[in-house]
Structure formats: structure tokens, C-alpha cells
A and B are shown apart, each in its own frame.
Chain A
Amino acid sequence: MKPPSALAGKFDSERFSPNTFAYILMIPAAIVMFGVVVYPFMYNVVLSFSNMSLRHFKDWHLIGMRQYAEVFKGKIFYIVLLKTLVWTFVNIFFHVTIGVSLALILNRKIFGRAAVRTLLILPWAIPQVIVALTWRSMFNYEYGSINLFIAHFLNMSPVEWLGKPLEAFSACIITNVWLGFPFMMTIALGGLQSIPQELYEAADIDGASGWRKFWSVTVPLLKPVMIPAITLGIIWTFNNVNIIWLVSNGGEPSDQTHILVSYVYKAAFNLYRYGYAAALSMVIFAILLTFSLVFLKRTRASETAY
């Protein structure tokens, strides 16, 4: 393989109009995405209008909107949707606030920051299954370290973390916050590098307080880097089935900790309702699409800067 510079030598970017140049830069990524995503997506669209299930596994046929009607029929969809929203926003709120705060601290020249930075990345680096299960055991009523901590240091009575719906849901959230903040921290650390030091110095001369500097310099300049991460963070968290499944052992207690995707998972693989699960997935998709369009419009993230 020749080094990229050789490639560039052959590749005369001046031959093209700016837009053609842009297309050329973007096409390789587009081909990969298009190829991998379109077929599966269309397949699901078709499935969502079909009756594919245990009894019609190989001989399924289209039945129209019936599966969609089924999705919106019960109260349960709305309850689970509400839980999903809580799950998503609480998680992202903590991911971002913790991540950005830590990034700000670690961006200062303080002693030992390289070591701390590396340690703080660990939750992102370690395989999720084992830590999720470790957290589950830390939430154990009698032997878990969290209850012992609560009892010894905070003098409160132990919490039945995994046996009660609200507590179990909180346990899932705590675990996921722990798993997710290093990612946001890394993004924010990268983003902070793009902020020119002079802007802070200029603000100093204006006599701005630290708080004002944060809001008028740091936040606006972190935005272009953080908005994509936050948007995708919301989408991923909305669709994160793993942590709920592992920490609450598949929705315990009493299927009270489900979010929409774990619900889809159960419908598709436990009760073999492929058509229904596909329709529910389409609904999830529509919710996320609407959200993203509104969010991006309001934050203007897809605009060009120039």
C-alpha cells in the first residue's frame, strides 16, 4: 500500500468543483452505510405489516396495519414509553453533566491528571456484562456493598434494590450512568481542545467570573462537538437493552423495569411475535426520528459552520 500522500499526488482535487469534491469525500462512507442499512430496514418495514409469528413462521403474509393497532392498543405501551423517556433523559443528563464536569477538571493542569484520566476511562473499556452483573451483586439486599454503605455511613435502613420496581429501575440507571459518563468525558475533553485560550484571556480582561466564562465561552464552543454525541447518546440509551436485562435480570421484579426495546426483545424472541416486534420497532424508530429532527433543528447541528 502506498502512503496516503502518494494517493493525493495522483488525486487532483482541483479538477472538481467544490461540491463534487465534497461528494467524493463522502461517498465511501455513504456506500457502506447505505449497503448495510437499507436492506435490513426495508425488511423490517415489510415484517411490520405481516403476521410473522410462531404459527406463521415460514408462511407469513401481509396483513396491513393490524400489528400497529396492536401496539397502541394497551395501556402498557404508554407506561413503558414513559419509563423509557425517564430512563433516557436521566441517563443522558448525568452522562453529560458528569462527563463535562470531569473533562473541565481534567483539562486544568492539576497533579496526577494523566493517571486519573486513564482510570476514569475504565467503565467504557471493560466488557459490560461482567460489570453489570457486579453492580447487580453490589445491589444485593443483604450482602451488597451499597446497602452496607448506606447502613454504616448514612445510618439509613437498607434498600431493597432489586425487589421493588422503582428501586430496581434506579439500580439500572445508576449502573448505566457509571458505564456511560467516560464516553461523554472523552468527547468533552476533545472538544475543549478546540477552544482558543485567548477567548478566556479576553474574558478575564473583561473581568468575567468563572461561571460567566463557562456559559459564554466554554458552552457555545463545546456545542458543535457535544450535540452529535448527545443526540446519538439519547438514541443509543433509548435503545439500550443490555443493562436493563442484566441488572434487573430480564425485567424483574414483575416486568416493571422494562423499557421499549427490552419489550421488543421479549416479544420477538420469547413469544415469537416477529410481526408485532417489527411494528413496535417502527414506532420506536418514528419516535426517535421525530425527536432528532426537532432537536437538531433547535440546536442547528446539521448546519455548516461557514
Chain B
Amino acid sequence: MKTTGNKFKIQNLKLRILNLFLYFLLIGFTLAVLYPILNVFSISLRPGDRLLSTSLNLIPDGASFHAYKVLFTQTPFLLWFWNSSLIAAAVTITGVALASTAGYAFSRFNFYGRKSAMVGLLVTQMFPPTMLLLPMYIMLLKLHLINSYLGVIVIYTSTALPFCVWQMKGYYDTIPFSLEEAARIDGSTRWGAFRKIVLPLAAPALVITALFSFMTAWSEYIVAAQVLQDTSLFTLPLGLKQFEASMSTQWGLYAAGSLLVSVPAVALFLILSRWLISGLTLGSVKG
């Protein structure tokens, strides 16, 4: 950077002030995010199943990890965890596979019906989900998919797909076509160009697709409650609901369970964020 010393100093000062400001902003947001979650943690430690407390102490009187102990020793928490993992993994894999290909088609080819198909995807999201429950149930019942994971997996995938496809398409749009053309000239097939050139570059979008599909399946309750009618098939959200009761909820267990439910989602984000914010940006490839 070619600047006179003085100007450089002023710029440097400005940058420092900006950075300081950004730090304050970040700290503020982090606190705002953490506080309610610490409150949930506090509920999980609180004896007597009180959702509310008149005291603001985050460590309640008589705090204990009793709820966590009960969760692992007296409830089928691990079974629910396993079931949820299975479903979420299946949905994530199908979601990524189907969205990465369909999104590519939408981004690169101007085929007949393309536009209406894209809007069609959005259309599926517009109907109030509560009203879809009834026909969905009847449909699954006719297909004998009640009480089966296949039923929920298909429903979840279809819930996650529209966003994932659009998101993949949007990301592919930012990747220059010239890269594939170059590969094609070098003798690569269309599929090869897609898989070896475009897909790796779209890693951040794949991460988002994976995260989104995972979260859709991981936290869904309403459909699962209607479809899965056998306690041995229960997923985590269904399991958590078992701690509830009209005016007599086991808030300690409920809060503890909720916190544990969020752990795999955060872990997945942590693992995937390597590719979400990778050094391998377009700039470096093209540079």
C-alpha cells in the first residue's frame, strides 16, 4: 500500500477504532445469544421442576446435575438419540445428493420447464404446514408408511429440498462457467466437470445444505408425532415431549434434554465450518 506515513497512521487508527467497535458488537451479540441459553441451563439444574424462578441467579439454589443423571439412567434418551441420528443422517445424505445435482441443472442448463420447476419448489413451502398434516397422514397410511422411518425420511427430505436446491443453484451461479469449459476442453465429461471442478468449489453451499437438511430432520416434531406411534421408534423431539404434561411438566429433564439435543448440531457445524470458511475460495483457484 502506497500511502504517506501520516495518512497511513490515520487509516491505521480508523481501522483500530473500527475493530474495537466490531469487537464490542460481537461481544454484545454473543452475550445476547448466551444469556437465554444459560437460562435454559439454569432450568436444567433447578430442583422442583420450575420453569420460572423469581431469582435471577444463573446457578439456582440447590443446583444439581440430577436431571442429566436421570436422563441417561432412567429414560431411553440414548435410544432416541440413536433414532434421530439415523433419520437425520439419511435425510442429510439424500438432501445433499439430490440438491447438489438438481441445483446444478437449474444453474447451468436452460431446459424447458426450468423456471416453473424452480417456482414449483417454492410453492411447496407456501401452504401452512398444519393443514398439510391431515392429507400427509392419509397418504402415508395408504402407503403403509405409518410407523416407519421411510415415511418420515421422505417427508423431511421434501421439506428440506426446496431451500437446498435454491441455495445450491444460487451458489453455482457465482462460479464462472469458464472453469467447466476449460475442463471440457481438457477432455473432461460433463459429469466429470461437475464433480471434479464445480462440486469442490461449491463446498460452502454443500455445507449449508447439509446443515439445513440435518436441522430439518433433527428438530422436527409435528410430523414425527403423527407418523411414529411406537415408543421404540421415537426421535429426540418426540422423546423430549414425553417430559411434558399439561401443567405438570418435568422442566428439569426437558431443559437438560434440549441442551443435549443441540450438542450434535453444534458439533456438526463446528466440523463443517472448516469447509464453510475454507481458504479454498474462488479467488485462490482463479488466481
Contact = CB atoms under 8 A, between A and B. Distances in A.
Nearest to B167: A228
Interface stretch (B65-73, B74-82, B207-215): B207-215
A306 B240 CA distance: 48
Contacts of A98: 29
A235 B56 contact: no
Interface string A122-146: 1111111111011101101011010
Contacts of B259: 126
Interface string A260-291: 11001100110000100110010011001100
Interface string B155-172: 101100111011101111
Q: Which of A26, A114, A118, A143 has the most CB of B within 10 A?
A: A26
Contacts of A39: 135, 139
Interface string A286-306: 001100110010000110111
A274 B138 CA distance: 15
B83 interface: no
Interface in B83-133: 94, 97-99, 101-102, 104-112, 114-115, 117-132
B227 interface: no
B122 A292 contact: yes
B13 interface: no
B261 interface: yes
Interface stretch (A29-37, A64-72, A74-82, A87-95): A29-37
B109 A21 contact: yes
Chain A contact-residue range equals: 35 or more
B52 interface: yes
A22 interface: yes
B211 to A, nearest CB: 7
Interface in B163-210: 163, 165-167, 169-175, 177, 189-192, 195, 204-205, 207-208
Contacts of A159: none
Contacts of B52: 137, 140, 143
A26 B26 contact: no
Given A125-B266, A304-B108, A29 B40 contact: no
Contact of A33 (B127, B158, B286): B158
A234 B29 CA distance: 23
A122 B119 contact: no
A235 B125 contact: yes
A18 B208 contact: no
Contacts of B282: 193-196
A44 B170 CA distance: 31
Interface in B28-48: 29-30, 32-37, 39-40, 43
Contacts of A13: 189-192
A32 B124 contact: no
Contacts of B118: 302
A193 B101 contact: no
B171 A190 contact: yes
A117 B265 CA distance: 13
Contacts of A228: 163, 166-167, 169-170
Q: Which of A123, A284, A302 has the most CB of B within 10 A?
A: A302
A116 interface: yes
Contacts of A198: 283, 286-287
Contact of A32 (B101, B154, B190): B154
A52 to B, nearest CB: 10
B124 A8 contact: no
Given A117-B273, A120-B29, A197-B283, A304 B107 contact: yes
Given A26-B106, A121-B269, A129-B258, 14 more contacts: A18-B190, A22-B109, A29-B98, A29-B99, A29-B161, A122-B266, A123-B36, A186-B208, A224-B173, A239-B128, A281-B128, A292-B126, A296-B119, A301-B166
17 contacts: A22-B105, A23-B105, A23-B111, A43-B134, A117-B277, A118-B269, A121-B266, A121-B269, A123-B37, A129-B240, A137-B51, A193-B282, A231-B166, A232-B163, A232-B166, A285-B128, A302-B115
Interface of B: 19, 22-23, 25-26, 29-30, 32-37, 39-40, 43, 51-56, 94, 97-99, 101-102, 104-112, 114-115, 117-132, 134-136, 138-139, 154-155, 157-158, 161-163, 165-167, 169-175, 177, 189-192, 195, 204-205, 207-208, 211, 215, 219, 237, 240, 254-255, 258-259, 261-262, 265-266, 269-270, 273, 276-278, 281-284, 286-287
